A and B are shown apart, each in its own frame.
Chain A
Amino acid sequence: MSASIRRVIAGIVLALAVSSAGAKPIPDLVRDLGSKQHGLRVAAYRALVALRNPAVVGPLAAALPGYDTLGRTYAQIILDALPHARTRGVFRSLLRSDDPELRVLGAVSLNKKGDPSGLVIAAKALRNTLYKDAVTYGIMVRLVYVRHRLITEAVRERLRLKATAAMVRCMMLHVNYVADAEAVPALRVLTSSEDLEVRIRARALIYRFGQLVDVTGLAAELANPKVSYVALSDVLTWMKYGPKPPQALAKALLTRLEGEGQPLTVSRIFDTLAAWRYRPAIEFAKPFVDDPDIRVARAAFGLIAKLVGRPQLDALRRSLESKTPTIRVLAAEALRKYDDQSGLVVVIAVLGGDDVEGRREAARVLGGYRMREAIAPLIDALEDADQTARTHAWTGLARMLPSLFPYRRFDLAALGYAANSPAAARADAVAVLRAWWAARPR
């Protein structure tokens, strides 16, 4: 049988499989990808990603100019995942497009496959000041994570010009990504911007490069509750690459904590203070250990566990008897990091308990142990009533089995297990795993 006949048969089988699963045909999916209805668009995107069918290249290439920025991003992801031999022509033709955003899209995708020849065009588009803000933003969004001298130089130039806050953020993300210290003079100008978030981001980036910065001003802005979570998150991420921060900045974060109600922000601040090893934060974190929001409780406990050190492990061992299941689990995890496995039984007990939040954490933490005693409870947790717990258990097993058995190979994907699949399908996969584990010599 020739290869072409085989391809045709495979195509028919694939088409039948798709139609039997009740999926839409490719042209409909491509049309939905350009829809303004978010749900419809995401569903189409997911279906096309799962399809991984080179047959989508033609329809997508034809529809691409009609899409908005998000639709184009989705289409680019789908095309990037397909063999380069099938998409190269499309991207090359995009380089000649009238639409600057499409030209950049083509250049970036070609660059991902090792061909940076289009980046000259992309850099030129970024330098063009005649485009509208929305177009420039669409161009910059695609160039944030492109590591090339031409792009970095263009961003450096663009940073000196007036731009929207969103555009400035994208450019700063690029400066951080490529660690372009030469952008510091342009960033210094931005520290006097009227926009609070532009100002704080600029200061944080300058700080990230170890350059002189007004620490008092940065501290005041860090403590300012008007700085959104996204901006704060950017700032803290960038500062991670910089030198060890002075205490004034850590104190500013503690000030911000006092009036902060957003769990994400609180947990992020605790994570940062733990990374900075700011010991006075321990006392601040203690009341948050019982926080009803698990992210906050986990971050607060993580900070305490990280900063207490080995001499104070007894305090952590006492936490194994806490009334809150989550705290018991987190204490066990902290002890495990110090090679103390005494919390394993506690985690297994919580995993079999009634507390949903505790079970989720227990499944996650159990996956971090590298002990055979953890395998059976994790297999059981694959049938937990809670999907998050099931997901954690599956991830943990997938990491643990190859680690504990270096001379065995596992094809867990073949089991067909998914945490969100129907109970019957999950039960089949779990039965196979149980049979394998039962057959293992003890």
Chain B
Amino acid sequence: VGFRKKIYHSRMRVLWIALLGLLISAQTAAKPTPEPETPTSADVTDRGRSLESIVDCLLRGGKTDEPRTLILLVDPAPALVTARFVSALEGGLKRLGPTDLAIGVGVVGDRESLRVAPGRDRKKILAAVVEALTSPRNAVRDVMSAVRALARRTKGISGRREIALISMENGDAEKDLEETCAVLAKTGTVLHVVGRSAFLSDSYWVRRESTAPRDFDMRGQDAAYDDLPWGWLLQASWATESVPSGFGLFGLSRLASVSGGRYFLYYPSNSVRTGCSPNCGCRLCSGDHADCGTRYEGHRLRDIAPALSSRLEARRALSRDPLFVTLLKVWGRASTEGLVYSRPPLRQGPGMLRGERRRLGAYAPLLASMNFTGISRRADKLADVCTRLAKELEQALADVDPDRVGKRTIAIVETTRVYFLVTRLNLRLLQAFCARAPGWLGAHQTPCLPPEIPLFSPGTYDYRAVRSTNQCFCHGTKALERLEIPGLAEAGADRDEAFAAVEGLLSRYDGTPFGRTARVMGISIFSFSAPSIRGNTTRRIPGTQSDGATTGGTARPSRAGTGDGSGGGTATGD
């Protein structure tokens, strides 16, 4: 009996403990502990400084009683020479005055991680940087390995150790990002970055996956993934390759974030491209529009700053975001229908979102023929798809609790919805074009008064397909009424809805990359294309290189003038 009593008592004790545990856990569930706030790019980005001011910040550092060691890790690209970095550094060293700061120099791409060991000989430091920039070259270089090597090499130095990575180009070439984070954390090294701004949800390398350097994970977005659908049908200028995000590149921003450093955005003064419709020319100004390059507003950018958690954590967080999950579904369907060239970066997996390997889709075969009835019929079907998908996003926006969803996701979904409405309008304009096309090409064209001549010359050119250019919304939607565009008046409700959505986006997101995305969007102006009659006449001298060719290493392709919105190369002005 005593034994049974004992068991009874011990069982009771277990029961009591279990009950107590349940009670505690229930209370814990009722009162959730606040999750640690995810750092965003806004927390690390330092915007609007001149190069001189950036150098001063780096050299002076924050308030600390510890002895400081700063290693300048220079990525020798021509952009750094153009930015007059050497001159800025020379001025900064002069202004610094007497100090205990030990400065070293490393060069990305060197076998030895340190070219000049940390010391106080300023002439030596300057000479090393000058030497590094004597013959700069645009090449894809492994900045992350260089950071890791330098962090390990300087581990033994006492006091506060900081690395200042000065790289205008290579933040998009990622290599073992998380390992680099771990090395920085383990060695207690702070990483500051001086670099360019990312393009909003940059699609450049995703689109050129086949030509991207194999040794690297080429990224370049401002966020963990390219989260804004890109490659829209009938849009000539791609916002994801022309609109600066106002934040640094994700990989380098994350490194700065985990190590407690800063990301100093630097805008090369002569690379900021102004002017609307960068790829088509604007019909509403003489290229002198003063409002194109409206500056970004820091407080508005803060709301839409991308999170800097690891990609794995980002996927987990996005899995819990119903709005983003809806966006992925809609993006996938738009891609299947051929409304966007891209496929979503993530797909629903068991439990959470997974990375998508196949990123490129195909446009709907819409313009590649002269069968106007067929084109018009397909355009009509696609316009209906646009309506359905836009409504779906609208509904998702209405259903969601704005406090539980990130503002960036809301901005992305709103922008995507506007893209659907503008694409629908463009498809209606295409239908209007197709309705008039037989008249323009027929033998019995309407006679026109001089100096006007028939729009097309079917006898001279062998037209094979329809092609389109854009007129952007940079001057607002009302200004478009000044242009004589067949079908615009007839588009009625579709036009009004699209224009109202564009105006809404312009006003809500003015001073942010999403506002500028609305400016880059445009309505289509159609024409016919005929095969080119010009051949390549360039000849090379045997045994010589063509001009501008680079030797050795992986040459970094120029992003200027690629004909799809990537104008301005590293133009990052905001």
Contacts and interface: CB of A to CB of B under 8 A. Distances in A.
B87 A409 contact: no
A1 B455 CA distance: 32
Interface in A361-377: 367-368, 370-372
B544 A405 contact: no
Interface stretch (A37-45, A208-216, A283-291): A208-216
A215 B285 CA distance: 38
A434 to B, nearest CB: 11
A17 interface: no
A211 B132 CA distance: 12
Contact of A415 (B85, B450, B454): B450
A148 B291 CA distance: 39
A115 B539 contact: yes
A337 B285 contact: yes
B455 A148 contact: no
A368 to B, nearest CB: 5
B484 A407 contact: yes
B452 A370 contact: no
B294 to A, nearest CB: 8
B547 A433 contact: no
Interface string B51-63: 1100000000000
Nearest to B448: A408
A306 B288 CA distance: 11
B539 A116 contact: yes
B470 to A, nearest CB: 11
Interface string B275-312: 00000000111101111000000000000000000000
Instruction: Name the interface size band of chain B.
Output: 35 or more
B102 to A, nearest CB: 23
Given A114-B537, A147-B547, A212-B130, A399 B482 contact: no
A145 B211 CA distance: 33
B569 interface: no
Interface residues of A, number: 55
A244 B269 contact: yes
Interface in B209-264: none
A243 B449 contact: no
A354 interface: no
B451 A411 contact: yes
B82 A242 contact: yes
A241 B268 CA distance: 10
Contacts of A412: 451
B285 A243 contact: no
B525 to A, nearest CB: 5
A150 B546 CA distance: 10
Contacts of B284: 370, 403
B283 A403 contact: yes
A404 B453 contact: no
Given A339-B476, A406-B283, A113 B537 contact: yes
Contact of B486 (A150, A399, A407): A407
A114 B285 contact: no
Interface in B460-517: 471, 475-476, 479, 482-486
The 10 closest A-B pairs by CB, nearest first: A243-B84, A244-B269, A114-B537, A403-B283, A337-B290, A210-B81, A210-B84, A210-B82, A436-B449, A368-B286
Interface of A: 113-117, 119-120, 147-150, 181-182, 207, 209-213, 215, 240-244, 246, 306, 310, 336-339, 367-368, 370-372, 399, 403-412, 414-415, 432-433, 435-436, 439
6 contacts: A337-B290, A404-B484, A407-B525, A408-B455, A409-B452, A409-B453
